[in-house]
Amino acid sequence: MARVLVVLTDGSPSVRTMTGWLAATGCALDVRRPFVEAAVPAVRAFHGLVVLGGDFGSGASDGGTPWTAMVRDRIREAARRGVPTLALGPGHLVAADALGGTVVPSPYGREVGLLDVGWGCEVLLDPLFDRVAGEDRAPPPSPRAVTALPPGGVVLARIGQGHIQVARLAATVWGVHYVPGADPDTDNDDIGRPLAVAFARMVRGRAGAHGELWE
């Protein structure tokens, strides 16, 4: 069975919603909460990695929480091994920083309300988001932003005044600045469920490539 390591940073409704969508795909989830557990296992035993949740500390690139460094290490390991990785919410900031991107206080100013997600043409060739992108809306960006992607990174969508909303941070690592299901006023089932299914398909492919059957 395809095994996914899920690193959570809190128990918010958005976290539970996305975890539920992933579980519904049939993946075996190993859920870890580094803020209460001593360690997060190495990625080599898994076919996929998901990092999502609430606050990672005062900043993704200024030390953050005591366990942020461990999460960064797992993301780098996944990128090296070609393990499909999905980093959502603040996880997107940590992943971008871990792989060599730039995370700073947002230069775009304060925005309110729901904003249209503007997908770029690059999404048409993206192996994860090509069937997920649509007419989506999302809450405003957080006070921090990814202003430069890691080397080789690709912007897939922007929001508001130009904030990077979705990006391929490495060949098998994706970052999404919002967490589908985070806002009860948005119909994020439209992107959340398809994203979970698309990610599970990718994880299943990796499991199959390693000779493990999808059950």
Q: Which residue has the higher pLDDT, 205 or 191?
A: 205
Alpha helices (H) along the chain: 13-24, 68-81, 90-98, 189-209
pLDDT band of 204, cuts 50, 70, 90: very high
Query: What are the pLDDT digits (tens) for 123-134?
Result: 999 999 998 888
* Calpha distance 66→57 (Å, rounded): 9
Domains contained in the chain, CATH given: 3-209 (3.40.50.880)
* Calpha distance 141→8 (Å, rounded): 20
Closest CA to 83 of 194, 174, 7, 196: 174
Question: Of 39-48, 87-96, 176-185, where does mean pLDDT reach its minimum?
Answer: 176-185
Helices 13-24, 189-209: axis angle to 10 degrees equals: 50
The DSSP secondary structure of 199-212, one letter per residue, reads: HHHHHHHHHHHTT-
pTM of the model as a whole? 0.89
pLDDT band of 182, cuts 50, 70, 90: low
* Calpha distance 11→15 (Å, rounded): 6
**What would you measure as the largest C-alpha separation in the chain, in angstroms?**
49
Distance of CA 182 to the CA centre of its chain: 13
> Is residue 53 over pLDDT 80?
no
**Secondary structure of residue 92 in the 3-state scheme:** helix
pLDDT band of 143, cuts 50, 70, 90: confident
